[in-house]
């Protein structure tokens, strides 16, 4: 490389650095942030808090020229977490209100066995797919669901006595585990009802 080219590159780098520092000096400090803000050292969480403080135009309660403690972000009101999804309520029927959960689950097992004896294997798929097959979306268009306590919610899922969707676990073409969440409506807890 020629000497002129080297000097030109050096001059360009120097000019760029000077321009950068002049622009940095001219930018006004963020409102509400202390002029002696610490450098971006520390944990990623601390750095994120400092960056958030710097990017905000003003915090509630901080007037122009006032300083804000580095922990002001954690003291600021936090957004409430989103509400937990509600479990869809399914209207009670005379059959479901008078039958215990064990009986309703046994009736579901009988329905699956009737389907299997007709077609040689259990219905497969997700709860809505199995529900659809039992309601007549099958080769012979037979509705296997009877008024025996089993109900279908608005999403097309078979639900237990407490309104929770059943969990169907296909073990083989001829064996299926059917799980009800039980009275606490939470799967895989001590009060679950299970049949095969």
Tens of pLDDT, residues 50-63: 555 554 444 444 44
Region 154-183: mean pLDDT is 90
pLDDT for residue 117 is more than 70: yes
CATH number at residue 162: 3.30.700
The predicted-structure confidence for 131-145, as pLDDT tens digits, reads as follows: 999 999 999 999 998
Is 184 inside a domain boundary?
yes
My answer on whether 56 and 127 are in the same domain is no
Q: Are residues 37 and 100 in the same domain?
A: no
Does 51 share its domain with 102?
no
Residue 130 in domain: yes
Confidence of residue 43 (pLDDT cuts 50, 70, 90): low
Residue 22 inside a domain? The answer is: no
Tell whether 134 is covered by a domain.
yes
Residues 185 and 118 in one domain: yes
Q: Of 168, 186, 192, which is closest to residue 178 (Cα–Cα)?
A: 168
Q: What percentage of residues in the chain have a pLDDT greater than 70? A: 60
Residue 54 pLDDT: 54
Sheet holding 167-170, edge to edge: 167-170, 176-180, 193-195
Higher pLDDT, 186 or 39: 186
Q: Which is more confident, 84 or 135?
A: 135
Would 60 be classed as within a structural domain? yes
Q: 116: domain range?
A: 94-195
In a domain, 44, yes or no: yes
Helix (H, G, I), strand (E, B) or coil at 45: helix
State how many domains the chain has: 2
10 Å Cβ neighbour count for 50?
Answer: 19
In a domain, 77, yes or no: no
Q: Which residue has the higher pLDDT, 83 or 122?
A: 122
Q: What is the pTM of this model?
A: 0.51
Cα four-point dihedral sign 99, 104, 110, 116:
positive
Residues 42 and 103 in one domain: no
175 falls within a domain: yes
Both 65 and 123 in one domain: the answer is no
Kindly indicate the confidence band of residue 171, based on its pLDDT and cuts at 50, 70 and 90: confident
Higher pLDDT, 194 or 66: 194
Same structural domain, 98 and 173: yes
Does residue 181 share a domain with residue 98?
yes
**Are both 187 and 126 inside the same structural domain?**
yes
pLDDT level of residue 64 (50, 70, 90 thresholds):
very low
């Amino acid at each position: 490389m020629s000497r002129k080219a080297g000097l030109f590159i050096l001059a360009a780098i120097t000019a760029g650095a000077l321009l950068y520092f002049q622009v940095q000096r001219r930018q006004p400090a963020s409102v509400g942030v202390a002029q002696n803000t610490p450098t971006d050292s520390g944990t990623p969480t601390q750095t994120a808090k400092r960056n958030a403080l710097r990017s905000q135009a003003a915090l509630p309660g901080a007037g122009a020229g006032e300083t804000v403690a580095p922990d002001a972000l954690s003291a600021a009101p936090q957004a409430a977490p989103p509400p937990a999804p509600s479990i869809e309520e399914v209207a009670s029927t005379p059959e479901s209100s008078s039958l215990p959960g064990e009986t309703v689950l046994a009736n579901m097992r009988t329905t699956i066995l009737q389907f299997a004896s007709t077609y040689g294997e259990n219905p497969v798929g997700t709860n809505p797919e199995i529900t659809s097959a039992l309601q007549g979306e099958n080769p012979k268009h037979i509705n296997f669901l009877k008024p025996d306590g089993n109900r279908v919610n608005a999403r097309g899922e078979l639900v237990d006595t407490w309104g929770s969707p059943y969990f169907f676990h296909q073990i083989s073409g001829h064996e299926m585990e059917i799980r009800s969440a039980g009275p606490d409506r939470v799967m895989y807890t001590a009060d679950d009802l299970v049949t095969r």
